Amino acid sequence: MFKGVGTALITPFNENGIDLESYEKLIEFEIKNGAQALIVCGTTGEPATMTKAEKDSVISTAIEIINKRVPSIVGTGANSTATAIANSIEAEKMGADGLLVVTPYYNKCTQKGLVAHYKAIAESVDAPIFLYNVPGRTGVNILPETVKELSCVKNIVAIKEASGNMAQVMEVARIIEGTGMSLYSGDDALTLPMLALGAKGVISVASNVIPSVMSDIVSLYFSGDVEKSRALHFKYLPLMTALFVETNPIPVKYAASKLGLCKNILRMPLTTIEKEHAAKLDAVMKELGL
């Protein structure tokens, strides 16, 4: 679907709800600065705290503004298979170019359950599906053998790997070699080593604030200038790390507000960044000239 950087968009809020004006500004900022895809209502966008009407508004607004300039990939996962199917069908009807489907959280299904879950969703839509593996949030881990089985489903085209387990990531990369399934990093700080394993890019939190930098890291690597890519990665690694000093998207929303992209408003139970963490992030951003 894309090669490079897909930004996992934050959702700007104001005192009255969704700040669609800031959302449009953010989308234009991302496209102008090199994002190759935009992910709408992923984890970073706080969809779990939105009403259905709000999510529909965010998705339809994003798809309209993006207007096929880059792929729009919509998060449609849920812990209920029926809900995930309904979300996926609706997003496809709205014009989403792809679907990002997180593992069903809380239920803690088996690998057999994961296969049945994803196959049921894939059978309900024609849109390309990205598996999203983030066991630290969901309590469920997609094992490499399960990824291999799901790679045989025609419209399951990629996996966003955010397990943080490089041994597992290597095995996933090995096991899907030649299947046509694409691997994407789900962790900014692991983008460079995952590119070396054959990843097609990253679904990035940091690119909310440094889209051109993240795009350069990936494009330099793909052009063969690994040394420059690595140097840029190392330069911005402190920021990538600082953006996870608290639960995502608390730090990145603060950083985006510092750049004038949105207000520093989150939905409870998420709360604004702690002062000591804000000071650390401020120092890193200042050091980088942001």
Q: What tens-digit pLDDT sequence spans the chain (290 residues)?
A: 899 999 999 999 999 999 999 999 999 999 999 999 999 999 999 999 999 999 999 999 999 999 999 999 999 999 999 999 999 999 999 999 999 999 999 999 999 999 999 999 999 999 999 999 999 999 999 999 999 999 999 999 999 999 999 999 999 999 999 999 999 999 999 999 999 999 999 999 999 999 999 999 999 999 999 999 999 999 999 999 999 999 999 999 999 999 999 999 999 999 999 999 999 999 999 999 99
The answer to whether the CB of 192 falls within 8 A of the CB of 229 is yes
Q: Please give the span between the terminal C-alpha atoms of the chain, in angstroms, as a whole number.
A: 31
Is there a contact between 38 and 32 (Cβ–Cβ < 8 Å)? no
Largest distance between two CA atoms of the chain: 49
Count of beta carbons in the 10 Å neighbourhood of residue 290: 16
Which residue among 132, 184, 221, 254 is the active-site one? 132
Q: What is the DSSP letter of 189?
A: G
Residue 204 sits at the vertex; the CA angle it makes with 69 and 62, to the nearest 5 degrees, is: 35
Query: Would residue 112 show up in a list of annotated catalytic residues for this protein?
Result: no
> In terms of pTM, does the model score above 0.85?
yes
> Is 132 one of the annotated active-site residues of the chain?
yes
Q: Which of 160, 184, 221, 254 is catalytic?
A: 160
